Amino acid sequence: MQPPDEFGLIKRLFLPLTGGDPAALALADDVALIDGPAGRQWAITNDAIIAGVHFLPDDPADLIARKLVRVTLSDLAAKGATPKFLLLSAGFPKDSRLEWLDLFASGLKSDCGQFKVLLIGGDTVATPGPLTLSLTAIGEITRNAALLRSAARVGDNIWVSGSLGDSALGLRVAKGEVPDLTPQHADYLLERYRLPRPRLALGRALLGLAHAAMDVSDGLLADLGHICDCSHVGAEIQAASLPRSPSAAALFAMGGYDEVAILAGGGDDYELLFTAAPAADEAIDRLSVSLDLPLSRIGRITDVPGVTLLDPGGAAVRVARRGYQHFGVLAP
């Protein structure tokens, strides 16, 4: 028997503990939603990051803190929620230096200011293992307004913000694997890996406009698979329409890269993937202009189960990688 992947594990181990409470969204969405006062809901999410998995052990301490804040707020952005509070659990290696810890706190402070969130609790421990951090973010949103993974409809167009693959390429830059790239492109890709930008303004603007939404953290195809599963639909994606930055294009032009695998399955993008009725196309194009953020129409929701990637001739494209798998089992 094939071992369960990360999501199989979550279903098997943790889903029974939700007691079927609707707040949990069946452990299949980016957040939990708890009813609050005055027609509001609290959107709550937790993310963990570990040295050597989500960032490089030698990355600057302030940037590690800021990446943690940003990947966590990205889940709130995906629902259209407004971040309010954070709780931090920090497992610092026993031999951490005070100077390093101060720099970590300065990064945290800077992003708490930028995103207008307050740190209201947490836990601090020493670990014999690598630096391990977990952040809970609490945001608020109008009751029943959140953009859910389960709300895609057949006939919707599929959109993605910004550009894909930059972060996966930035990791290669960080590892010194692409020495020939110009410093300008290298810096851009590196920043995309180290400092993702939670698309909070976009998420809020999509309320009432989009149907389903989620943030792309594991890889476009794997994550779109979650929207399809939750919404009981399928999807077709045009490989040629996947948005790439000028820096990614410059790197691809050097040759030796499986472009589609990186764009469609690279991971760590923290862009928003959303679906909307074709009638919303013009409003979304206008939103792209007003937010100064590219929004690309990359495919459509169908009634055929599964996520299919198509080449310009309409033939299915096979990809080596559909997304990051923590337990090493590739998504179907």
Could you tell me which stretch among 17-25, 67-75, 109-117, 304-312 binds Mg ion (CB under 5 A)? 67-75
Residues 273 and 215: their CA atoms lie apart, in Å, by 6
Of 75, 268, 269, 271, the one binding ligand ADP (CB under 6 A) is 75
Query: Contact between 156 and ligand ADP (CB under 6 A)?
Result: no
Burial of 46 (0-12, 13-18, 19+ CB in 10 A): middle
In the region spanning residues 213 to 252, those forming contacts with Mg ion, defined by CB under 5 A, are 215
Query: Contact between 30 and Mg ion (CB under 5 A)?
Result: yes
Of 33, 41, 47, 261, the one binding ligand ADP (CB under 6 A) is 47
Residues 237 and 217: their CA atoms lie apart, in Å, by 18
* Paired tokens of 97: 């230096």
Residues 239 and 297: their CA atoms lie apart, in Å, by 11
Q: Which residues of 240-276 are buried (b: 16+ CB within 10 A; e: fewer)?
A: eebbbbebbebbbeeeebeebbbbbbbbbbbbbbbbb
Minimum Å distance from CB 115 to ligand ADP? 17
Of 149 and 185, the one with the shorter C-beta distance to ligand ADP is 149
In the region spanning residues 170 to 209, those forming contacts with ligand ADP, defined by CB under 6 A, are none
Could you tell me which stretch among 26-34, 131-139, 279-287, 298-306 binds ligand ADP (CB under 6 A)? 26-34
Question: E strands within the chain?
Answer: 32-35, 40-50, 82-93, 118-127, 132-142, 157-161, 213-216, 234-238, 271-276, 295-302, 306-310
Query: Contact between 27 and ligand ADP (CB under 6 A)?
Result: yes
* Paired tokens of 88: 């931090």
Could you tell me which stretch among 22-30, 90-98, 115-123, 232-240 binds ligand ADP (CB under 6 A)? 22-30
Query: Contact between 217 and ligand ADP (CB under 6 A)?
Result: yes
**Binding footprint of ligand ADP on the chain (CB under 6 A):** 10, 14, 27-30, 47, 75, 217
Chain contacts with Mg ion (rule: CB under 5 A): 30, 75, 215
